């Protein structure tokens, strides 16, 4: 059996993995995390996947324009959507241990506007 030349192996790996494609733009409107360490951990584990990814069609963290119509619905409606799910958002926003207060704080953080609690 013949050995495959290293240059051919490199060329094949580049072709197969899609390397060289343009990198995706930054995922969020800003790369912020909540100042509270516990909320920052919840955001990183539960919220960031969708709210920092334009392809997810969720309002991006810090995008006040995208959050404005949602905020007009009121904190109770946003809390209900977070707990029960809404459109593509899963129930509990992938945070089964989150309290209502934490959800409101996280929504306020992502909307870049604190919500009344």
Q: What is the CATH number of the domain that holds 46?
A: 1.10.760.10
Calpha distance 73→36 (Å, rounded): 26
For residue 52, what is the DSSP state? T
Q: What are the tens digits of pLDDT across the range 53-111?
A: 999 999 999 999 999 999 999 999 999 999 999 999 999 999 999 999 999 999 999 99
Does a structural domain hold residue 23?
no
Does a structural domain hold residue 58?
yes
Q: For residue 57, what are the domain limits?
A: 42-111
Does a structural domain hold residue 9?
no
Note the pTM of the prediction, 2 decimals.
0.72
Does a structural domain hold residue 67?
yes
**Buried residues in 4-36 as b, exposed as e (16+ CB within 10 A):** eeeeeeeeeeeeeeeeeeeeeeebbbeeeebee
Domains contained in the chain, number? 1
């Amino acid at each position: 059996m013949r050995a495959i030349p290293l240059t051919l192996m490199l060329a094949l790996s580049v072709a197969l993995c899609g390397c060289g494609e343009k990198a995706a733009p930054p995922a969020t409107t800003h790369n912020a995390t909540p100042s509270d360490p516990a909320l920052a951990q919840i955001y990183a584990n539960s919220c960031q996947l969708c709210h920092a990814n334009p392809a997810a069609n969720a309002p991006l963290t810090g995008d006040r324009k995208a959050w404005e119509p949602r905020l007009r619905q009121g904190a109770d409606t946003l809390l209900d959507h977070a707990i029960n799910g809404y459109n593509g958002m899963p129930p509990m926003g992938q945070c089964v241990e989150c309290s209502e207060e934490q959800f409101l704080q996280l929504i306020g953080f992502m909307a870049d506007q604190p919500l009344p609690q």
